[in-house]
Structures are given as C-alpha cells and as structure tokens.
Structure 1
C-alpha cells in the first residue's frame, strides 16, 4: 500500500487576467481559447486566430467523449480530440454550428474522415455555411492520417489498413472569398454529396488574415528565375538559383510572392566534394521573405520515401537545409509525408534542418505533414570541418502541425536558442525538445546550454511530450500552455537517450497543463503531467513554480527513477487539481532525491494528494 500524505497550503498566485486558457484551475475548462491579444506575462502564445471546440457549439450529431483513462492507439477518436471530446456527423443534415467572436476570412477545421479501403487516404467534402447561406465546399483528406499497428514503437506503424489505428485526425484550411463580421453563425454541415462514411469535427480556428505583403525593394523575386505560381510545375530549380545568388552576394534577399509553389528538392548548398553519404551542406547568409504564411506556400506532391534521387531520404524533398546565419519568414512549407518508419523504414522529411549555426532566425513559418518541423543540429562526424552548432537560433510565430515526429528539436550542442510565441498541434513526438546529445565535437563542453521555450501553445501531441529536455544545462520552460497529450507528460525532464549531464538550473515556471500525461508502452507505464525521469544519471537544479496543472490523466507531478538521483527539487506556487487516475504528486518506488514544497495546493486527486511508494528513496519536505 502506498503512503498517502495530506497537504494544506495557501492558494496559488492567480494567473494574470486574459491569459490564454486561464481557467482558475477549473479542470473542466478548455485551454487555448486564443485571440489576437494577450496580456503581458500570460501563458501560451498570442495567436492570431480564435479557436472553437465542436462540442461547445450547437450540433446535430453524436458527441464522442474519452474514457476516464483516455486510452490511446486503438482507434480512440475521443482520446485524440481536443478537450477529449468531438462531434461525429453520420447522416445528411448533421452539423456543428458556432458564433464567431471576431471578424474572419479564413478557416481551419481539425477533422477525421475514414482512410481509403486499401490505405493511402481519400478526399471528401464538407459544406460550410455562414448565417444560413452556403459558402463553399471544404476539401478534407485522410492521406496524412491513419497509422496502423498495435506497437508503440513509431517505426513499427504502417500505412496498411488493418487492426488498431492512431493519428486519426488531420486539418483542412481555406481562405474565404470575403471577410465575415463578428457574430457570424458558421456551420459545418454534411450535405448531399458529402459522402464520407462519417465526419468527426474536433475544433475550428477562425482568423482574419491580412492581405499579402508587398515585395521589399531590396529583394529579388523567384519569378525572375523562372518560377511560376499555381501552375503545378516544380519550382525547385528557380528557388535554388535565387537562394544561391543571395548566398553568393549577387542579390540582397529572396522574395517569394503570393502563390502555391511546388518544391520537390531540398534547398541546400551543392557540395562539389560530395562529402558524406549524402550532400549535407546547408545554406548560409541567406534572407528569404514571403508575403505571409497563408499566401506564400511551398508544397510537395511526392511522399519523401517515394521520391527518387532526392538529396537526403531522411530529411526529405522539401524545405531548407541551413548551416549558418539564415533568416526565413512569412511562408508555409507543406510536406507530403505519410509515415514515420514502417513500410521499409520510410520517413516524412524535415521542414527546416541542418547545423543552423550562429544567428539563424525563422519566423512566421507554417509547417505541416513533415516528419519533423525543425531539427537543429548535425552530428560532428557529419563533415567535421563544417561543425557549427546552433547558437542564438530563434524560432517565433511558428505554426507546426500534424507531424510524424518532433515539432522543434534543439540537439548537437545547440545553445542560447529560443522558441517563442508559436503553436504546435498533433506532433508525433515531442512538440519541443532539447536533446543534448553526445554526437558532438567534445561532449564535455559542447552541451546544450541556456535554451528557452517560452509562451508557446502546444496541443494534442499524439506521441511523446509537449516539452522534453534530455540533459544540458540552464534550460528554461516558461509561460507555455500545454494540453491533451495522448500518452506522455506535458513536460518531461529525462536522462534516457544518453544525453550529456544536466547542469546548472532547469526552470519550469508560469506554465499551464490541462489533460496531460497518459499510459504508454503497452499501457504498462503511466506518466504524470510533469515527470522527472532520472533514467541513467542525475537531474539536479530543478525548480517548478507558478504553474497550473488540471485534469491530468494520471499524476500531476511524478518522480520516476532509474540510475539517477533528483536532488533539491523546489516546487512553489503550484496548483494541482483533479489528477484523475493518480496522485497530485507521486514519488515512485524507483525514485531517489528530494523535493521541497512551498505554497502548493492539491485537490480532487483520484488517489492520495501525495504518494511515496514503498521502497522509494525520495523525500518530500513541506
């Protein structure tokens, strides 16, 4: 029998008014109800759209609700839904309706429709109405959803229909022909001709998208190199030529006008020496600007594992390979990945990858259907003379959705780098990660250091964590809103994946976590909303403060041991409510270390408020 300890403390310091997802600790509230304004110091990103949950509108259809343990991986639609609820439309006339809270001229619908019988997805339509008037048919697709297999190993999943399935949702987006005012009643309805076997509507984003930006006078358009928008022809050669001229100082910057631009090769620097198994030399000293992420959009039609002759199968046939000092802004990168692993080791490509080096800035870039949104760093052994770990790399205003693995991963000694004011949804591994790997020039000095993830909104990772830190020093996880992780923590610090040691401090502050944690690895491991996992070495210097944890699937904060110790953890000004199937704070039998609590409030725990399992060498000081 576990030891339960009662806990009484003063109330948590209140969240600032106007916070994204601010619910005062109400476990039944929804997070990420965002708009264009956000009070300073609040949680989550200041997103330019307003989000509407299908179940919060009026609907004619079937409400889907997750089971109490929110099981994942066995075709569980509600578990994979925002708020763990969604609405299914089965019959003609079934619909979801809601009233807009701001003007809008665009729509994003998170939805699920069935796979094709033989796999590979299918396209169907769903009808959009505004104030009772038909607007247009929205195109929905299941090409990038539906992975099959009972294993929790991502490389073991397949595109071949049969048995259990996961990654059931994808998104459809459209710019509307006109702007609709605040108070418009929007309706998604199944009409005649909308003939999928069923439609599941999870949420809708409405946004007032600005007109396309004008070309800066100093920039040169890719059209001058022969690129043509919206014609379906491959524009890679023109894009590569423009980038190369900018890198060589022939032009000042590259301009991507509004339009759909097909890209079937990674943009990089050609290596005449052909070093490495594949050409892995990135671009440097390049500035590329677009007319806006809704307007200047690169896309590929070929899944990377089906594209012959691409420069690097793992990193795909789209996006940019960067080595140093590159600025990319106001574009979209839409890959065509369909798998991570499985089917012969196929992968879905990477939107932004490379060494990234000093001073690279990526802002207002929308990435979908990639294996990874952005992978920062290369192994030292990959062309050692080009070793150049990320330093002062900045990501801001990112919109990374529906990936098969990570959103943004800082690895290979990345330091002094940030991800801020960005949104992540439906990532297939950690939405944000620091992996201080040992594949560096000198593991004793080339450690991940002083990296910060702040003011981001993270929703629905279908595998792994909202934010993860594997080793390194002086990490900061601040003012993020994290909700609906399927199977892993909202935030995890861990020493698996053989990282360099934790050092200095790791600061977790000002975050909110809703419906986080879950069961994984054949449901044998249950993870807390925040989990410290000393798998192989120590995790020292951790502080958790000014944090709201609500409606966790299992524990609120969990200490999980292995070969390491977790000494001197400080937890202050934290409110933990409704840990449904676990404790407010759990120290597992394997855990070693100690934590001191100050101004911590725990309520509504499924088990004890504080549990120290028999045999645990972890102490909790109140």
Structure 2
C-alpha cells in the first residue's frame, strides 16, 4: 500500500468452494473418528460438542462461475500475473476475450437463478473518460436482453493517486460489474450465453466471471415504518431525493420508527447523516441509493449511536481517486451497538470508512465492489468492532484495513470474509492496534504493493502493543512483485517501518496456496519479534517459503512447504540478524539462499531440476481441489505418505483434484492410492483423468470409469494414459461407493519408461 483513502485530515498514502476446517484443539480427539468414518464405517464416537465445522470465507448467496471454465469460441487470456495486463486482474488470473460478432461465453446453470452479475472489461477511450456499450445475453439460445457495459469506472493511469489520463501510462483497474434481474427463475441446466452481436460495438469484451443468484422478491414494508416516499423521495431517480431522505431520517429518529426505502432507484447527491435510527430497504437488488456524492454518514463528534442500516444498495458515481474528498458509501463515526447488514456498495471511493473515536459496531453480509480505494477501513480509535461474512472484490486499495492512526484501534474482529482482487495493497491489513483477531477469512489474487495478510508499524500508525491473531485464514495467489523495491512481497508479510514490532502476534492454521513470490515475508530496519507460527502450510510459492529482510526472531512449529520455486529461506542479512526458532514439526524449507532475485517459478511453484528417471512427477508439487473436508486437504495427496489423504466435501459431486507438475512433462500413466489399511473397505470411485498445458481447455486422457480400490490388493489403481505432454493433471471424481466424497491418499504421475 503506497497510499490510503478516506479521511480529509491526512496525506495520501469460480466457483471456489469454501474451505472447511475443524479447530485445532479438536483435531487429535476427532482424528480416529474421522478416519474411520471416511473409510465408510461407523465412527467410534460422536464429534465433540466443541468441534463445529468452521467455514472459511464469506457464506455467499451467489454462485461464481469462471469464464475460462465455460464453453467459449473466444480467446482464453492467461494465466498471467504481470501487473498492467488484463488476465492479471482476473480472478484466477485467467479470462476470456470476445472480439468479433458471434463470439461467446456460455455457462450451464448448476442451480436455479433469477439474476446475473457479469465481471467484465471493455477498452477506455483516448480521452480517458470511458465508453459505454452493450453485450447480448441469451437464455437457452434465445436473446433475452442487452446488458449495459461501461469503462467509465475503470482504467486508471499513472502513479498514486492515479489519473484518468491514458498518456500517463501504467494502466490498471480494468474491470467493472454489470447486473440484471432476469424476471424469472432459470432452472438448473439452463444455458446462459454472453455473446457479441451486431450493435455490440466495443472493440473487445473481456469476461472474467459471472455470479448467479436466486434473489428474493422485494421485502414488504415493516408495520409502523415511515416510507421515504411519504416525504417526497422519487423512486424513479429523476428528482433529487436528498431532502426527502433527511426529513424521513429526522422523523424516524424523533418518533422511534423505522425509515423504509421501498423498491426503486433514489438519487442522493450528498451525505445523509444518521443517528439513533433504523433504515431498512426491500433488499440490495431492489432498493438502491445512487448519485454523485451519495453516502450514509455518522456524526464525527460525538459518534452516532444506535444506527441500524439494512437491506439496500449504494451505487455512487466516483470515477477518479481524490483522497481529499469524503465520497464513501458509508462513513463518519458510527458506534453504540450499531449494526450494518446486507448492504451492497459500488462506485464510491471507499465502501465503508469509519473515522473514530467510536465504539461498538458490527458489519455483516456486505458486498463491497468496484471501488476507487479501500473496501472497509477502521481509522483512528475504533473499538469493539466486528466485520463478518462480507465480500470485497475489486477494491482500489486494501480490502479490509485496521489503521491505528493518531489513536489505537482495539478489540476488533474480522471473521469469515472473502477478499478478492484488491487492485492496490493488501487483502487484509492491520496497521497497529491492540487485541485484533483476523480469523476464517479467504484472500485471493493480490495485484501490486501488498500481499494477502499484512501487519505493519507504518503509515504513522500507533505501534501495535497488544495481541494480534491471524488464525484459520486461506491465501490463494497472494503476494506481488513490488514495482518500487523490484522484489517480491509475501502472501503473509510483516513490515517494521516506523517502529519495532514487538507486540505478540500469533499465526496459526494458515494455508498459503500458490503464492506469487515468498510465502512469509519480514521486512524493515527495526526488529520484528514475538511472532509465533503454528501449523502453517505453504502449498506452492513462486520463490521462497521465508524471505528475511529485517532483524528479529520468530518461532515456527508445524510449518511445512512444498512446491517452492527457489530455496526455503532468502536471507542476505548475515548470520544471526533474524533468528528462526525451530519449535518442531517443520519441513520443506531448510535450505538458504543469498544472491540475485530469482524469477518466480512459473505460475506459482517452479519446475525445479529435471526429475530422475522413474520418479513420481507429482510428489511435492502444487495441488488444488474443488473442496476439502476438515484437515484432509489436497496437499496430502502429493506428500509421499500413503496414510495421509485428501477428501472432498461430503455429499456433493463432481469434485476435482488438480496437480501442477511445474513444467510441461511427458506422462503416460497415473497411480491413485488410498491408505493401505483394512479399515478402508473395498470401494469403487468413478474417476476421469484430464490434462493440459493450462488450467482451461483440458483434454480427457482417460474417460470416467469405475476404479476399484481393494485393500487386499494394496488399495491402489493404475491408469494408463496416451503419451502426452502436459503441465496440469486433473482428476474428476463423480461417484464413490464407500463414502460420499472424492478420496485420494496419493496421486502419482509417471513419464514413459
């Protein structure tokens, strides 16, 4: 993060399955029962009462589908993580480009939906002001409607804080969303196509993903509430409704009655200041506040209290970044037991920027998208705050941030949130603070000048002096090449810039998957100490497991790394500058390196040296899965231990397991294993084998067939493949007679003899 946004009193500065984990305290007690149950037998004892299934990331009401995985006659872009390129800002670093009439991307619904959100990019114009056009939507072969698309809220240029002048170069922030209610429910199996037709005149369209959702009808007005239309608000958006909203809010506060926003689009051109009032809409698809300058704000001094905002959307009209303007979706100081729920915010500067001091607020179920700066920021003396079940995508700065500027933030929890594609800075950042908990979140696809999770004494924050806990978080394709430093920033990183970092920090049960550069990174001139790492998995990193660029020390236990593109530890500081305390159970990162910065190993882990003849090409490589149950993650299938295993989420097929061999290899067979134990009763799994040089457009190498695993015969299956060159090998599981999930203890891939 080179800059921050929000306050006027400071300088600048797919569907992917949710991962399910059991708390570490229950793993040992539950291990035997889970092993037995997974083998298809009755568990010896019921799960403990303190052993709930825990969801990582937000529990979202929509299903995301990646364009590169859909049927298309367009051009697949990527994978590519080069900042300033279109696929780098796409989810999963791949997208589909449509250039000519008749080119399309087509999705088959896996469950009913009556709405669509399309994440797309179209080009800017020479003036930098953007163009507007349309893209055709077809349902089961029939033209349904034209979707409006525009580049007016995308394409920023130059250096921070950026401009709309294309001549400044450094183009980025390419994507935006368009959404539509379809007027009817489309059943599972419906084919939904995005197609370029005559009249769709943009030079090209790049489709990243779509969200399909079954949206509820508009909610009914609560009994006894005051509708903003009673005070003259215009649901068509033709007239400015700012004064009507002010009057309705004042009446609601005075009469202790809910203020109701019916279905409609209401134009608001300034802040609506709220205190001791409830505002409720008919749902964020139905009740929308829009306009240049729209925002719901608390008071600054004293903070507003007892504010409840529910079930509506705020769509602003911010087209440039100006850190001197208060043009955020929700802002000011709001505390005293306030709750903000089911609010959708787009095209404002920051989604929610809170300027303390303030105490006591919960934000839940928010969607914060396509912003110029942060998704949400707790700035200056915020306490007793919770952000949960919130989805941030395409923020222009940190996705979620805690910034102890001037006054320390304390007792703040960020839990079960999903942050994707912050265009600048970090997914989740903690700048100072006391008693901060960041738990059960998912961060994906960071772009520049930041990583996935970050703690730093920087940006003039009051240094952290109390515990900070990073627990049960998943980081996918996080970390970047910093354009100023010209070296990689970690997926998880710590920066002691303004002062030493010595507050206790616990990093526990973290999954780092396919980091772009180092997995874990320490940097700064001041010491970084008092950090404890427990049970951290680095499953693929472009360079190192650890990158040491600060003095200090940290304790590591149960930290494992596979699929590194370079050595285990980067350290050019000299002996003893940073003490790596080995507390046991660590593996895969015991080598050290000092020298020129290596290029990252391809898309995540590097290919390494050519394997020995007859070697298992999959062992230790980067691997991903469509889902997992408990601690039985995909890395278990390539760890060389036949007694550990991957298991997908129970009760749902198809499921996929994909291994990245690190480079294109010639292969002719794959061996699948289950644990060689009698408790794993004989079973048949229906498995297809696919492969390719990229993760999209894979070819079928062995069609789906019933593969019999018999513990009396070693519990393994060998599948012959046609001699072919591939980098990615994918197993697709569609049935299992022994347990309702895909299972594999080892996936072994071999070259022709």
Pair in the same fold by TM > 0.5? yes
Q: Which residue of 1 aligns with 2:455?
A: 493
Question: Given the alignment, which residue of 349, 357, 373 partners 2:335?
Answer: 357
Gaps of 5+ in 1: 1-17, 25-38, 269-282, 303-315, 379-388, 441-446
Distance 2:326 2:77 in 1: 30
Q: Which residue of 2 aligns with 1:331?
A: 312
Question: Given the alignment, which residue of 389, 392, 404 partners 1:421?
Answer: 389
Q: Which residue of 2 aligns with 1:257?
A: 262
Question: Given the alignment, which residue of 314, 321, 339 partners 2:298?
Answer: 321
Q: Which residue of 2 aligns with 1:71?
A: 82
The answer to whether the aligner puts 1:20 opposite 2:18 as a matched pair is: yes
Q: Which residue of 2 aligns with 1:307?
A: none
After superposition, give the CA deviation of every residue in 1:429-471 in whole Å (9 maximum; x if it has no partner): 1110110111x4xxxxxx2111011000110000010000000
Q: Following TM superposition, by how much is the alpha carbon of 1:317 offset from its aligned partner in structure 2, in angstroms?
A: 4.1
The answer to whether the aligner puts 1:239 opposite 2:248 as a matched pair is: no
Q: Is the 8 A contact 1:54 1:96 kept in 2?
A: yes
Q: Which residue of 2 aligns with 1:91?
A: 100
Q: Following TM superposition, by how much is the alpha carbon of 1:228 offset from its aligned partner in structure 2, in angstroms?
A: 2.2
Q: Is the 8 A contact 2:440 2:473 kept in 1?
A: yes
Q: Which residue of 2 aligns with 1:613?
A: 572
The answer to whether the aligner puts 1:102 opposite 2:117 as a matched pair is: no
Q: Is the 8 A contact 2:129 2:164 kept in 1?
A: no
Q: Following TM superposition, by how much is the alpha carbon of 1:598 offset from its aligned partner in structure 2, in angstroms?
A: 1.3
Distance 2:101 2:383 in 1: 54
Q: Following TM superposition, by how much is the alpha carbon of 1:259 offset from its aligned partner in structure 2, in angstroms?
A: 0.8
Q: Is the 8 A contact 1:365 1:398 kept in 2?
A: yes
The answer to whether the aligner puts 1:42 opposite 2:55 as a matched pair is: yes
Q: Following TM superposition, by how much is the alpha carbon of 1:538 offset from its aligned partner in structure 2, in angstroms?
A: 2.7
Q: Closer, same or farther in 2 for the Cα pair 1:91/1:162, shift >3 Å?
A: farther
Q: Is the 8 A contact 2:413 2:436 kept in 1?
A: yes
Distance 1:231 1:560 in 2: 50
The answer to whether the aligner puts 1:55 opposite 2:68 as a matched pair is: yes
Q: Is the 8 A contact 2:118 2:209 kept in 1?
A: yes
Distance 1:256 1:50 in 2: 27
Distance 2:552 2:56 in 1: 30
Q: Which residue of 2 aligns with 1:382?
A: none
Aligned pairs, number: 531
Q: Is the 8 A contact 1:159 1:339 kept in 2?
A: no
Q: Closer, same or farther in 2 for the Cα pair 1:394/1:522, shift >3 Å?
A: same
Q: Closer, same or farther in 2 for the Cα pair 1:52/1:161, shift >3 Å?
A: farther
Q: Which residue of 2 aligns with 1:139?
A: 148
Q: Following TM superposition, by how much is the alpha carbon of 1:480 offset from its aligned partner in structure 2, in angstroms?
A: 0.5
Q: Which residue of 2 aligns with 1:576?
A: 538
Distance 1:181 1:455 in 2: 29
Q: Following TM superposition, by how much is the alpha carbon of 1:561 offset from its aligned partner in structure 2, in angstroms?
A: 1.8
Q: Which residue of 1 aligns with 2:345?
A: 367
Coordinate RMSD, CA, aligned: 1.9
Question: Given the alignment, which residue of 185, 196, 203 partners 1:179?
Answer: 185
Distance 1:204 1:21 in 2: 21
Q: Is the 8 A contact 1:338 1:348 kept in 2?
A: no
Aligned to 2:86, what secondary structure does the other structure show? Answer: coil
Q: Which residue of 2 aligns with 1:290?
A: 281
Q: Following TM superposition, by how much is the alpha carbon of 1:284 offset from its aligned partner in structure 2, in angstroms?
A: 1.1
Aligned to 1:83, what secondary structure does the other structure show? Answer: helix
Question: Given the alignment, which residue of 553, 556, 561 partners 2:519?
Answer: 556
Question: Given the alignment, which residue of 534, 551, 559 partners 1:592?
Answer: 551
Q: Which residue of 2 aligns with 1:34?
A: none
Q: Following TM superposition, by how much is the alpha carbon of 1:523 offset from its aligned partner in structure 2, in angstroms?
A: 5.5
Aligned to 2:107, what secondary structure does the other structure show? Answer: strand
Distance 2:370 2:346 in 1: 6
Distance 2:389 2:225 in 1: 27
The answer to whether the aligner puts 1:217 opposite 2:223 as a matched pair is: yes
Q: Following TM superposition, by how much is the alpha carbon of 1:23 offset from its aligned partner in structure 2, in angstroms?
A: 12
TM-score (norm 2): 0.68
Higher Cα Rg, which structure: 2
Q: Which residue of 2 aligns with 1:267?
A: 272
Q: Which residue of 2 aligns with 1:277?
A: none
Q: Following TM superposition, by how much is the alpha carbon of 1:609 offset from its aligned partner in structure 2, in angstroms?
A: 2.0
Aligned to 1:109, what secondary structure does the other structure show? Answer: strand
Aligned to 1:71, what secondary structure does the other structure show? Answer: coil
Aligned to 1:238, what secondary structure does the other structure show? Answer: helix
Q: Which residue of 2 aligns with 1:466?
A: 427
Distance 1:113 1:511 in 2: 34
Question: Given the alignment, which residue of 412, 422, 435 partners 1:451?
Answer: 412
Distance 1:129 1:198 in 2: 18
Q: Is the 8 A contact 1:118 1:161 kept in 2?
A: no
Distance 1:416 1:227 in 2: 35
Distance 1:510 1:574 in 2: 9
Q: Is the 8 A contact 1:19 1:42 kept in 2?
A: no
